[in-house]
Amino acid sequence: MKLLYFAWVRQKIGRSEEMLSPSSQIATVRDLAEALKARGGGYAEAFGDLSRLRAAVNQDHVALDTPVSPDDEVAFFPPVTGG
Amino acid sequence: MSTRIDIFEDDFDAGAEIAALKAQAGGAGAIATFTGYVRGEANLKALTLEHYPAMTAREIARHVAEAKRRWPLLGVRVIHRVGRLVPGAQIVFVAVASAHRAAAFDACAFIMDYLKVHAPFWKQEEYDDGVRWVDAKASDDDAAAKWKR
């Protein structure tokens, strides 16, 4: 699974992307976010309040209850502020 | 219908973009455009925009396709800049060609409203004493929600 981070999520974690072999416990985007939060440090800060985060799976916006699989590209970011 | 979407750092010539769209959109009787600039707010030195390259153009294209489904459009041009931009700089440009003005105006506003809440861009403001990420505004969600049907 490829993970991507943007804006302050990227800054708190200290990297823009990483590869992950998800455990079988991770069924949804929310499970993934909770597992990352449990790493502590910058991850705990970035994922501390999931209501402040948005996610995309394979470049489509998704809700946190969306299923994920090992081949997915999952991105975490704040609400967008373009335009 | 011609659709062109670009995301890049360079500045652009809005007049030349309108002329190019008019040449591609045969029979257009109306072209509505929107240009967004970096606001000259107190002490703001610059904005830096980042985006999710694999997703951005695709997300905008989805909204352009939806606009085309709703209105009889002849051509659409979207440009969004990324990188560091100083006050007064152009950030975003949307131009929509149609036979008549109502469709051009409405589709241009629709594409802009959807871009604001869905296209994966993030702005960071730069001041003399540091930087801060711009928060999303509820009013932008409201603007996009009014097109729901």
**A83 within a domain of the structure (yes/no):** no
Contacts of A8 in chain B (CB under 8 A): 133
CA R_g for chain B:
16
CA A33, A38, A39, A40 torsion-angle sign: positive
pLDDT class of B1 with cuts at 50, 70, 90 = confident
Instruction: For residues B74-102, give the mean pLDDT.
Output: 98
Contact (CB<8Å) A59/B92 = no
In this prediction, the answer to ipTM > 0.90 reads yes
Instruction: Decide if pLDDT at A59 tops 90.
Output: yes
Contact (CB<8Å) B52/A79 = no
Give me the DSSP letters along B87-109: TT-EEEEEEEEESSHHHHHHHHH
Strand segments (E) across B9-104 = 30-37, 46-51, 73-81, 83-85, 90-98
Using CB atoms, which residue from A61, A77, A81 is nearest to B134?
A81
Contacts of A79 in chain B (CB under 8 A): 135-136
**A82 within a domain of the structure (yes/no):** no
Using CB atoms, which residue from B49, B51, B136 is nearest to A79?
B136
The total number of structural domains in chain A stands at 1
Contact between B90 and B14 under an 8 Å Cβ cutoff? The reply is: yes
- What does the pLDDT read at residue A42? 98
How many CB pairs lie under 8 A apart between chains A and B? Answer: 70
Contact between B31 and B18 under an 8 Å Cβ cutoff? The reply is: yes
**CA angle, residues B92, B50, B47, in degrees to nearest 5:** 65
User: Measuring CA to CA, how many Å separate B43 from each of A44, B83, B100, B134?
Assistant: 33, 19, 42, 15
Using CB atoms, which residue from A75, A79, A83 is nearest to B52?
A75
Which domains are assigned to chain B? 2-144 (3.90.1170.40)
- What does the pLDDT read at residue B68? 97
Q: Where residue A63 sits, what CATH number does that domain have?
A: 3.10.20.30
What is the domain range of residue A63? Answer: 2-77
**A27 within a domain of the structure (yes/no):** yes
Chain B nearest C-alpha distance from A8 (Å): 7
Beta bridge mates, A4: A17, A75
Per the structure block, which two tokens stand in for A39? 């790493």
**A51 within a domain of the structure (yes/no):** yes
- Whole-angstrom distance, CA of residue B136 vs CA of residue B125: 13
User: Measuring CA to CA, how many Å separate B92 from each of B33, B60, B84, B116?
Assistant: 10, 12, 13, 10
**A28 within a domain of the structure (yes/no):** yes
- What does the pLDDT read at residue B149? 74
Among B60, B122, B132, B135, the residue to mutate for chain A (most A Cβ within 10 A): B122
Query: What tens digit of pLDDT does each residue of A2-45 get?
Result: 999 999 999 999 999 999 999 999 999 999 999 999 999 999 99
Among B90, B92, B121, B124, the residue to mutate for chain A (most A Cβ within 10 A): B121
Using CB atoms, which residue from B52, B58, B92 is nearest to A83?
B92
- The pTM is what? 0.95
